[in-house]
Structure 1
Amino acid sequence: MRTHSTHTITLLGIFGALIILQAYVPMVGYIRLFPAWPAISTIHLTVILAGVLLDVPGGATMGLLWGVVSLIKAYTAPGDPMTLLLFQNPVIAIVPRVLVGVVAAVVFNHVFKSRRSGRLTTVKLSLAGICGALTNTALVILLTWLFFAQRASSVVPGADAGNLGLVLAGAFAINAVAEAAMAAVVTPVLGQALLVVQKRRRAK
């Protein structure tokens, strides 16, 4: 039990350090394609892997850390007007990030939970990655609509309460596709290796 707890704390520390590193090193955690638009994130990959290895508590904890870091960066070093506007809202900054880890953990650890090896595991890892990535984008859009529908033009010029959700979906399409594609590929590649290491440590 103590070894298991130590292993969990160690992984949380490693994942947490990676998230902070990704958040603050340019072009590592956020890849900016357009100067005035939100960057494509890679931090969701770390949160998803935390959910895969450490289940819901670990995924939620790392998602919470990502959300808090996003909130701090929005106040101290916003990279674009959209980040400045949206992610200074604690709900938009934190809730989607927490649920990235939760959704990835549930998909991998609680869907066909008896299957932890073989081809199905690769499929589950890819699915966990895709679902985790899309959870973030979908909830940011939904919460932005809920909070900003009545002043939609302050988010996107020309938008209104009726079409803000669709406008945001179109605007975030590139981010959503890129982040989901990365998660679909990276999660099984790294996840398989990390699961093998975890299994060996627990067998000792």
Structure 2
Amino acid sequence: MTRKSSAYTISILGILGALIILQAYIPMVGYIRIIPGLPAISTIHLTVILGGVILGVRGGATLGLLWGCISLLKAYTSAADPVTLLLFQNPIIAIVPRIMVGVVAALIFNHIASKTRTGLGGTIKMVLAGIAGALTNTLLVIAFTWLLFASQAGKVVHGANASNLGWLLIASLAVNAIAEATMAGIVTPILGQALLRFKR
């Protein structure tokens, strides 16, 4: 890695890391809560996805780890709803899906037609990376919740049991998943292409 490339990576990692911290702690910036008591719609995944696209797997995973650690900390110190309090105090649910957001986005953009990074092809890859990264978070949270909390299903979703918990989570988080994936599909190519031009 050249000195210029290394400086760029450190700079972007620092900027995006600081942005994640600001998003997490400024109300209605990183988490947009539409209905009190229900999980908020996140915008932090956008920052992690951008990190994966621009910095690769290691950068995306690092930013995802930061987001996951903040999610875990907030679940213990300032959980805004019962579901967050119950689920995100579990390190697996809080951290692993967040790391995989950056990893999946990085793999899609940097390892599929790797020479195509700008223009229409690059834009399409960024859209796919954004959507896949966003859905990765939601689906892994649901999967880990199903695996780890099946015996306590009624505490996670009222009226749930071990057999239907996953489906009820999918139904209850569908709006969040669609909103987060749509945002990622739009924002990732807009900001990602700008950051790549700056890198050159």
Query: Which category describes the TM-score, using the shorter chain as reference length?
Result: over 0.9
Bigger drift between 117-126 and 16-25 goes to 117-126
Match of 1:62 in 2: 63
The alignment status of 1:163 with 2:164, answered yes or no, reads yes
Distance 1:97 1:158 in 2: 28
Residue ranges of structure 1 left out of the alignment (5+ in a row): 200-204
Amino acid at match of 2:21: I
Amino acid at match of 1:94: I
Superposition deviation, residue 188 in structure 1: 0.7
Match of 1:130 in 2: 131
Q: CA RMSD in A?
A: 0.6
Match of 2:44 in 1: 43
Any residues of structure 2 matched to 1:75-154 within 5 Å, and which? Answer: 75-154=76-155
Superposition deviation, residue 2 in structure 1: 1.9
CA offsets per residue over residues 129-188 of structure 1, 9 Å max, x none? Answer: 000000000000000000001110011111000000000000000100000000000001
Normalization by structure 2: what TM-score?
A: 0.98
Identity %: 65
Normalization by structure 1: what TM-score?
A: 0.96
Distance 2:188 2:3 in 1: 28
Deviant stretches of 4+, over 6 Å: none
Match of 1:18 in 2: 19
- Name the SS of the counterpart of 1:172 in structure 2: helix
Superposition deviation, residue 7 in structure 1: 1.4
Superposition deviation, residue 75 in structure 1: 0.4
Superposition deviation, residue 114 in structure 1: 1.3
Distance 1:54 1:92 in 2: 24
Amino acid at match of 2:108: V
Distance 1:63 1:44 in 2: 8
Residue ranges of structure 2 left out of the alignment (5+ in a row): none
